[in-house]
Structure 1
Amino acid sequence: MYDDSTLAAVGEQLERVADRDFYAEKFADAGVDPTAVDSWADFRSLPFTTAGELEADFEAAPPSGSLYDGAAMVTFSPMGEQLRPVFDTADDLEAQAAANADVLERAGVEPGDRVVNTFGYELFGTGYVLHRALERLGAEVFPLGPGDSEQAAATIEAYDVDAVVGNPSFALKIGAEGGSVDTFVGAGEPFTSIPGRREAVKDALDASTAVDYFGTRHIMPVAAETAAEDGLRVVDDYAVVEVVDPDTGEVLDAGKRGEVVVTHLRKAGVPLVRYRTGDLAELAVRDGTVVLPDGVIGRTDERLKVKGVKVYPESIETVLAGFEGLTGEYRVEVSQPETTDRLVVICEGEADADELRAALGDRLIVTPDAVELVADLDEPGVVDERY
């Protein structure tokens, strides 16, 4: 799926991280030589990096962990039950600014545009990363952050702002206060994976374009849509994305749903090699470009096997969010009354049961045997009665 130039960039990054204590030990334990990777098969022999391993590294060498080697900016990101530092060198910040500027331009933001940035600047630093990218692109940036939707709407109208970047849920609030822009770039929460959410945001902001962006604080960007609104394209000059079976680690073919695994191509501070994000998606290849066609549709933390199909209950949440009458609370019940699994999804609120069942079938790949709607759901969660 990736070309030789991407493989060469992977090799250069592996050479840069090979002598870091964290990776040197991992690669030695796995019996692999990262500097000898000259094929994608070799790359896939490298061990995964997990959040648990990074947490253990922070605990063993507090507070910075062994991957710390100086930084120009220190921000934080949730990891387990703690906030852990994210280190960006000056070169990292420049590379992120360049990659994100390209992404934002492809999304429809133009040099000279006025852009309201509603991502947070404090502690997590996402606002700073995208602010630098917008400056590099040549936009005028209003660093408002996520605090006050009424103020954001007033600023947008007073200064004839062209675009907003931020969380889709906050964009809806801005629109409700009368803010309108031509372009919206949404990230930080499920967006286009929720049926109808793109259209709702466009209507609220009276926008002609609303595109999805996927990244984590450790890896920004991973993938993003263009103004054509046709799926998140992996930013393959900044990161490599794989989708693997969460249980076996096997790399899955295009069209198969599994866990998103990401590798930095250019990063000095907390470089990640084959990092298991826990996010659920599938890959496709369009015109030689690797795409996440449905965005991120859930998490892989909790999964069931029903009728031979892996079911990820958390992906149900993005379906329910597309139905106005539902609260988002649900319970999954799996049983085996005879020899065949039976899947029942119970949802709190009101909706057309047939439409909801069909939507759940599309997202889960296995259609529920029944969908029940209740006014009050006492015990949300997952109940597996088969064992």
Structure 2
Amino acid sequence: MYNTTTLSAVKEQLEQVAGRDFYAQKFADAGTDPAAVDSWDDFRSLPFTTAAELENDFEDAPPAGSLYDGAAMVTFSPMGEELRPVFDTADDLEKQAAANADVLERAGIEQGDRVVNTFGYELFGTGYVLHRALEHLGAEVFPLGPGDSDQVAATIETYDVDAIVGNPSFALKIGAEGGSVDTFVGAGEPFTSVPGRREAVKDALDASTAVDYFGTRHIMPVAAETTAENGLRVVDDYAVVEVVDPDTGDVLDDGERGEVVVTHLQKEGIPLVRYRTGDLAELAVEDGSVVLPDGVIGRTDERLKVKGVKVYPESIETVLAGFDGLTGSYRVEVSQPETTDRLVVVCEGEADADELRAALADRLVVTPDAVELVADLDETGIVDNRYE
């Protein structure tokens, strides 16, 4: 799936992290030698990194954790109940700018384009990272942030702006205020995994192109679409992506749904090896590219097995968001009246039950036995009555 050039980059990254206390201890505890990694099978023998382990490291070596080794920029990211620091060295910032510039160019933004950046600059720093990328690409950047949609729309009209980068939900508000651009790059929330969301954004902005971008504040970029709008392409000179079974940790075959695991290839500040993101997706190889064909479709935090299939209830949210008459509130009910599991999804609002059932079947990979629609839902979440 990945070539020998990528494996060489992985080996260089492992050499860089092996001396950090956090990873030296992890590798020793797992009985693995990162210096001996000479194949993808060897790589898959390395232990995962989890958010809980990073949280513990921050607690044990406050406030920066043991992975800290100096930084040019310190931003923050939610982790557990706290905001934890993210460190970028000067070299990190340059490499991120170059990688993201390539991504944005493939998304349709060109040198000389005027681009409104509606990501936040303060605290989390996402806007700043993409601002540097746009500058690297040679675009003119309007650092407006996630502020007043009416003001953004007016700026777009006054200065004949070509593109917007930002949250899809904010893009819809900008479009409602009359903002119109050729190109939109969306991130920070479910986008193309929500049925009809891409079309809604394109219609609102009168855009010819609307593409999805996936990254975390720790790893930007991970994957992004091109102007072809046909799935998130892994940025394989910056990150390695695996999809694993959330329960066993086994790497899954192409087309199987599981947890996204990401490894940095070019990172000095908080380098991550086999980091479990908790995001849910499928992996495929298309024309030599590693792709998340349906984007990120939910989280793996809660899951249950129904009729022998792993069901991820949070992925229901992206389906419901595609139906205008639904509020997004739902309850999953699982029972076993005889010997076979019965799955019922109760949703608040109005929709065509057959269409909704078909959409849920496609997303869950198991067809609900029934879909019920109610005006007011008094209880949400998961109700599993099989083992009472």
Question: Could you state the TM-score of these two structures normalised by the residue count of structure 2?
Answer: 1.00
Q: How far is 1:112 from its partner? A: 0.1
The 1-side partners of 2:253 and 2:365 are apart by 16
For the pair 1:214 / 2:201, whether they are aligned, the reply is no
Matched residue, 1:135:
135
The 2-side partners of 1:36 and 1:99 are apart by 28
Secondary structure of the corresponding residue to residue 356 of structure 2: helix
Q: How far is 1:13 from its partner? A: 0.2
Matches within 5 A, 1:1-387: 1-387=1-387
The 2-side partners of 1:183 and 1:288 are apart by 26
Secondary structure of the corresponding residue to residue 116 of structure 1: strand
Q: How far is 1:6 from its partner? A: 0.2
Gaps of 5+ in 1: none
Letter of the structure 1 residue corresponding to residue 69 of structure 2: D
Q: What is the CA deviation profile of residues 125-153 of structure 1, one whole-angstrom value per residue up to 9, with x for unaligned ones? A: 00000000000000000000001100000
The 1-side partners of 2:75 and 2:130 are apart by 14
The 2-side partners of 1:270 and 1:15 are apart by 14
Letter of the structure 2 residue corresponding to residue 189 of structure 1: E
Q: How far is 1:161 from its partner? A: 0.1
The 1-side partners of 2:19 and 2:119 are apart by 35
Q: What is the CA deviation profile of residues 161-198 of structure 1, one whole-angstrom value per residue up to 9, with x for unaligned ones? A: 00000000000000000000000000000000000000
Secondary structure of the corresponding residue to residue 358 of structure 2: helix
Secondary structure of the corresponding residue to residue 323 of structure 2: coil
The 1-side partners of 2:76 and 2:111 are apart by 30
Q: What is the CA deviation profile of residues 33-59 of structure 1, one whole-angstrom value per residue up to 9, with x for unaligned ones? A: 101101000000000000000000000
The 2-side partners of 1:37 and 1:380 are apart by 46
The 2-side partners of 1:61 and 1:338 are apart by 53
Q: How far is 1:338 from its partner? A: 0.1
Secondary structure of the corresponding residue to residue 322 of structure 1: coil
The 1-side partners of 2:384 and 2:264 are apart by 38
The 1-side partners of 2:227 and 2:289 are apart by 16
Letter of the structure 2 residue corresponding to residue 110 of structure 1: E
Q: How far is 1:342 from its partner? A: 0.1
Secondary structure of the corresponding residue to residue 156 of structure 2: helix
Secondary structure of the corresponding residue to residue 285 of structure 2: strand
Q: What is the CA deviation profile of residues 56-90 of structure 1, one whole-angstrom value per residue up to 9, with x for unaligned ones? A: 00000000000000000000000000000000000
Q: What is the CA deviation profile of residues 289-336 of structure 1, one whole-angstrom value per residue up to 9, with x for unaligned ones? A: 100000000000000100000000000000000000000000000000
**Number of equivalences:** 387
The 2-side partners of 1:70 and 1:290 are apart by 33
Structure 1 vs Structure 2 CA RMSD = 0.3
The 1-side partners of 2:327 and 2:35 are apart by 51
The 2-side partners of 1:109 and 1:277 are apart by 28
Secondary structure of the corresponding residue to residue 258 of structure 1: strand
Secondary structure of the corresponding residue to residue 259 of structure 1: strand
Worse-superposed segment, 110-119 or 29-38: 29-38
Gaps of 5+ in 2: none
The 2-side partners of 1:121 and 1:34 are apart by 36
Letter of the structure 2 residue corresponding to residue 317 of structure 1: E
Letter of the structure 2 residue corresponding to residue 382 of structure 1: I
The 2-side partners of 1:271 and 1:148 are apart by 36
The 1-side partners of 2:46 and 2:94 are apart by 28
The 2-side partners of 1:297 and 1:24 are apart by 34
Q: How far is 1:340 from its partner? A: 0.1
The 1-side partners of 2:237 and 2:253 are apart by 21
- Indicate the percent of aligned positions where both proteins have the same amino acid: 89
Question: Could you state the TM-score of these two structures normalised by the residue count of structure 1?
Answer: 1.00
Letter of the structure 2 residue corresponding to residue 217 of structure 1: R
Q: What is the CA deviation profile of residues 259-307 of structure 1, one whole-angstrom value per residue up to 9, with x for unaligned ones? A: 0000000000000000000000000000111000000000000001000
The 2-side partners of 1:273 and 1:179 are apart by 41
